[in-house]
Structure 1
Amino acid sequence: MCASIAVSGYVVLALLAERASGTPFHELVRQRVCRPAGMHDTEFLRSDEVPGRAALGYLATDGLRTNVLHLPVRGSGDGGIYSTAADIHAMWTALFAGQIVSPGWVVEMVRPRSDVPSESMRYGLGFWLHESRDAVMLEGSDAGVSFRTVHDRVERLTHTVLSNTTSGAWPITLHLEELLTP
Structure 2
Amino acid sequence: MQIDTVSLDQAVAERPFTGVIRVDVGDECVLARSEGFLHRGLRVPMTPDARIAMASGSKAFTALAVMRLVEDGALRLEDPVRGLLGSDLPLVDDTVTVAHLLTHTSGIGDYFDEDADLSVSDYVMTVPVHELTTAEAFLPMLEGRPQKFAPGERFAYCNSGFVVLAILLERATGITYHEAVKRLVIEPAGLEHTGFLPLNDLPADAATGYVFEEGNLANTLHLPVLGNGDGGVFTTAEDLHRFWLALLDGRIVSRDSLDLMLRPHSDVVDEDRRYGMGFWLHRSRPALMLEGFDAGVSFRSTHLVESRTTVSVLGNSSRGAWPVVAELAASIDAQLG
User: Which TM-score band applies after superposition, normalised by the shorter structure?
Assistant: over 0.9
- Aligned-pair CA distance for 1:74: 0.6
Q: Larger Cα Rg: Structure 1 or Structure 2?
A: 2
**Counterpart position of 1:136:** 288
**CA-CA distance at 1:62 after TM superposition:** 0.6
Aligned to 1:14, which of 33, 50, 65? Answer: 65
Give the equivalent residue in structure 2 for 1:47. 199
1:164 partner letter: N
Q: Residue type of the partner of 1:9?
A: A
Could you tell me whether the CA contact under 8 Å between 1:112 and 1:122 is conserved in 2? yes
Aligned to 2:243: 91
Q: 1:157 aligns with which of 309, 316, 325?
A: 309
1:170 CA displacement: 1.5
Matched, 1:4 2:156: no
- For 1:72, the equivalent position in structure 2 comes to 224
2:109 pairs with 1:60: no
Distance 2:308 2:245 in 1: 10
Letter in 2 for 1:94: A
For residues 52-109 of structure 1, what are the alpha-carbon distances to aligned partners after superposition, in whole Å with 9 as ceiling and x for unaligned? Answer: 1100000001132000111111111111111101111111111111110001111111
Offset, 1:10: 1.1
Q: Is this contact kept in 2: 1:15–1:25, CA < 8 A?
A: no
For the 8 Å contact 1:33–1:91, the answer to whether it is kept is no
Mapped partners of 2:228, 2:66: distance in 1: 11
* CA distance in structure 1 between the partners assigned to 2:177 and 2:321 by the alignment: 27
Equivalenced residues, count:
182
Q: Give aligned-pair identity as a percent.
A: 46
- Matched residue type, 2:240: I
Aligned partners of 1:80, 1:63: CA distance in 2, in Å? 23
User: What does residue range 15-34 of structure 1 map to in structure 2 within 5 Å?
Assistant: 15=66, 17=69, 18=169, 19-34=171-186
Structure 2 contact 292–299 (Cα < 8 Å) conserved: yes
1:123-150 deviation digits (Å, cap 9, x = unpaired): 1111100001110111111111111111
| Whole-angstrom distance in 1 between the partners of 2:271 and 2:278 | 15
CA shift digits 1:150-175 (9 cap, x unpaired): 11112321111111011122211110
Q: Which amino acid aligns with 2:54?
A: I
Question: Aligned partners of 1:94, 1:156: CA distance in 2, in Å?
Answer: 11
RMSD: 1.2
Please say which of residues 11-20 and 63-72 is displaced more in the overlay: 11-20
Aligned equivalents of 1:139 and 1:132: distance in 2?
18
Residues 245 and 308, structure 2, Cα contact 8 Å, conserved in 1: no
Does the residue aligned with 1:133 lie in a helix, a strand or coil? Answer: coil
Give the letter for the 1:165 counterpart: S
Report the secondary structure of 1:12's partner residue. Answer: helix
Whole-Å separation in 1 of the counterparts to 2:329 and 2:281: 14
Structure 2 unaligned runs (5+)? 1-49, 70-168
Letter in 1 for 2:296: G
Q: Which runs of 4+ in 1 moved over 3 A?
A: none
Offset at 1:15? 3.7
